[in-house]
Structure 1
C-alpha cells in the first residue's frame, strides 16, 4: 500500500478545550478559512453535549471526538454506535481496553454508518497519553518496560482489531510506522511550536519534527486557542506544515 496523502490544511486538528460552547464556536469561526478539523474533548462535550458536534459540522468542519472510550466491549460498541450517528469524522478508544473492545467499536461504527448512509468514521486507538512519563508508566500505572515498547504493542493490537490508526506521542512515530506500516494513521498530540512555550505534557515535539518523522495528523490546542490572534497562530503553524510537505 502507498502512504496516505493528507493535504497540509487537513493535517492540523485544533483542540477546542473550552468550558463553554460560545468560546469554542467563536474560536472555530476565526479559524474557518485555515483549518478543517476541530477536536472536541471531554470538557467541551460534557458542557455542550452532542449539539457542539452538529454546530461544528454545520460550520463546515470535520469533528474529531476525543472522549477515549474504555469499557467492556458491549458498552463501547454502544458508544461507538451513538457517536457515529452524530456524523463525526473520527473518534477514539483506549487500546488498553483490549482486542475485542476495539473490534466491537469499529464494527459498530461501520454498521451504523452503513445503516444511515453516513461516512464511516475513522476509529483511532489511544496508546499512552503524552503526559505519561516513564516513571508514571512503571511506578504509578504498574506497567513494566519502556513507554515506546508499550506504545508499539498497543499499535499492533489496534491494527489487528481493524482500527485506522493510533494516538501516540511524536517520539513513537517511526516505531509505529515500522511495526504497522506507513498507511496506519498516526494522530499526534503534544505538538508545541518552538514559540509557544511549555505546558503539562511530557513527551512533546514541534510540528516540523513530527511531520519529518511521518505523522499524519497533529493535534494542537493552546498554541492556537490561547494565542492573542488564533488565526495568525494557525497560519504560522500551517506555513511550517506546508514547508515540510514540499
Structure 2
C-alpha cells in the first residue's frame, strides 16, 4: 500500500478510469475517492477500483447525529475500503458510533478493519479564519491537537491534519496513531486554495504516515512521472 494517496477529484467514472489507465503498471496503488466522485457514481466506482486491485481511501467526512453516522458507517464498512473519515468536531459520541457502525459493516463482509480517521481542521483553514468564523479562541495547533486526542479517546485510528501539526499530534497521542496529510505541494508549485501546505519530504520528516496528493499529480503534464517524483521524495527520508 503506497504512502502516496492520489486524490481522484474527478467528476465521473469515465474521466477517473481514463486517468488511472496511465498507472496500470504501478503496484500498490492507493487512491482517495471524495464527495464529488462518490456522490455521482456511488458504490460502483468503488467496485471498479477494487476490481483493478487499487486500495481506497473513501473520504466523505461524515458529520451528523451519532445514530445517523453509525448507520452510514455500517454501510461504508461493507464497501471493503481501507480508510474512511468523520469530522472530529462531531464529538466523542459521534466518533464512537462511527467506529461501532464501521466494525459491524466490516464483520458482515468479513473484511479486515477499515481505518477510521477524524478530520481536525481543514488545511484550507487559517488560524484567523478559525478564530473568527468558528469562534475558537485557542491557536490552530492547539485546536488540532485537542481534536486528535479526542479522536483517539473515542476509538479513531488516526486523523487528517496538516503535516505541520504531526509532531504535536504524536506527542499528544501515540506514534502508531495515524497522521494522514493533505495539503501537499512540491516546492515549486502554487498552493491554490490551501493554507497550511508542506512538501512530501517535509511531511515525512514531521511524522506523516501517508500523504494525499491531488492536483500535483492529476493536473501534471506527466502524471505518472509526477507520482514517482513525489514517492521518491518521500522515500528519500529515512
TM value normalised by structure 1: 0.93
How big is the shift at 1:197?
2.6
Aligned equivalent of 2:39, options 35, 46, 51: 46
Aligned twin of 1:225: 218
1:168 equivalent in alignment to 2:161: yes
Task: For residue 124 of structure 1, give the secondary structure of its aligned residue in structure 2.
Answer: strand
How big is the shift at 1:194?
1.2
Deviation by residue 1:23-71 (Cα, 9 ceiling, x = unmatched) = 1112223224055211001111111111111111111111101110000
Aligned twin of 1:208: 201
Q: Which stretches in structure 1 are left out of the alignment for 5+ residues?
A: 1-8
1:11 equivalent in alignment to 2:3: yes
Give the superposed CA RMSD. 1.1
4+ residue segments displaced more than 3 Å: none
How big is the shift at 1:168?
0.3
Task: For residue 19 of structure 1, give the secondary structure of its aligned residue in structure 2.
Answer: coil
Correspondence list, 1:98-177, <5 A? 98-177=91-170
Aligned equivalent of 1:55, options 34, 48, 56: 48
Aligned equivalent of 2:174, options 163, 181, 201: 181
Task: For residue 195 of structure 1, give the secondary structure of its aligned residue in structure 2.
Answer: coil
Aligned twin of 2:18: 26
Bigger mean CA deviation after superposition, 27-36 or 151-160: 27-36
Aligned equivalent of 1:93, options 54, 74, 86: 86
Bigger mean CA deviation after superposition, 93-102 or 19-28: 19-28
Deviation by residue 1:149-192 (Cα, 9 ceiling, x = unmatched) = 01000000000011100000011000001000110000000010
Counterpart contact for 1:13–1:35, Cα < 8 Å: no
